Chains A and B, each alone.
Chain A
Amino acid sequence: MAKFRQIRSIAEMLKSPEIEARLAEIGSRVLTGAQSDSNATYVASLRMNAREGTSRVTVQVGAAPIIGMAVEAKRGTLARALGQAGG
């Protein structure tokens, strides 16, 4: 009797713990990079959250709205951290 490999669908993989772990690893590098910003209030507001959407798991790194917008416009801290993390 032929053996069949058990393979998962793409849809299943996009919500898998392995993908979440990989995204969390990249997100942690982005978070660590952004934490080097000189504004302590901004750094204190940085958060990383993982959530499962309808089609895939996502990991978001962000700061509080007003100060986050100001720092991103002034120094591009998160964009640079993402670039350093290879994103």
Chain B
Amino acid sequence: MRGIIFPSTTGVLCSVLRAGLTASAVAHAIGVTVQPKLPATKTARMVTVRDDSGPDDGSQTRRRYGFNVWADTPVDAENLALLCMAILRDCADGQPITVTDSFSGPFDVPTETPHNVGGKNLTNYFFACRITARGTNF
């Protein structure tokens, strides 16, 4: 019997979000930076993807993910977070993500020192969900 190796899903989720946002026609999806960590040079719209870990059952891994979303208006930040959630709800294709569920949020994160881009303070929204991905033989 061969062992099971689980895929790293952070990069996959970044790619899924980038593709979904690029394909979207709405204005708040334009020029969004999607990365695991905040870029050194902040942009007006940003999304970070954070793996908060989780258990596996020997064939599938179920990990909680936290998504921080920033935009230069509160309305754009909330709409961008909602759009990201919609993209993630629809991304399970078995390669390797099999299920996305247990969504919670988005909510406005209270920030004492907000990032400032182009003279505007960025609004931070947060949401979380669970990502299930299948393992493969190695």
Write the residues of chain A forming the contact surface with B, with a CB cutoff of 8 angstroms: 66, 69-70, 72-74, 76, 79-80, 82-84, 86-87
CA distance A69 to B124 in the complex (A): 11
Which residues of the partner chain B approach A86 to less than 8 Å between Cβ atoms? 55
Contact B109 A83 (CB under 8 A): no
With both chains docked as a complex, state the minimum distance between the C-beta of A73 and any C-beta of chain B, in angstroms. Answer: 4
Tell me the total A-B contact number using a CB cutoff of 8 A.
42
CA distance A83 to B65 in the complex (A): 11
Q: Which residue of A lies closest to B62 (CB)?
A: A83
Which residues of the partner chain A approach B111 to less than 8 Å between Cβ atoms? 70
- Known A-B contacts: A69-B109, A83-B63. Give 15 more (CB < 8 A): A69-B126, A70-B111, A72-B128, A73-B109, A73-B124, A73-B126, A74-B109, A79-B52, A79-B66, A80-B52, A82-B54, A83-B53, A83-B64, A84-B53, A86-B55
Most B-side CB within 10 Å, residue of A66, A72, A73, A86:
A73
28 contacts between A and B (CB under 8 A): A66-B110, A69-B107, A69-B109, A69-B126, A70-B109, A70-B110, A70-B111, A72-B66, A72-B126, A72-B128, A73-B66, A73-B109, A73-B124, A73-B126, A74-B109, A76-B66, A76-B128, A79-B52, A79-B64, A79-B128, A80-B52, A82-B54, A82-B64, A83-B52, A83-B53, A83-B54, A83-B55, A83-B63
Residue B115, interface by CB 8 Å: no
Which residues of the partner chain A approach B50 to less than 8 Å between Cβ atoms? 76
Which residues of the partner chain B approach A82 to less than 8 Å between Cβ atoms? 54, 64
Q: Which 5 A-B pairs have the closest CB atoms?
A: A83-B53, A79-B52, A73-B126, A76-B52, A79-B64
Q: Which residue of A lies closest to B48 (CB)?
A: A73
With both chains docked as a complex, state the minimum distance between the C-beta of A76 and any C-beta of chain B, in angstroms. Answer: 4
Q: Mark B91-115, 1 if CB is under 8 A from A, else 0.
A: 0000000000000000101110000
Contact B64 A76 (CB under 8 A): yes
Contact B52 A87 (CB under 8 A): no
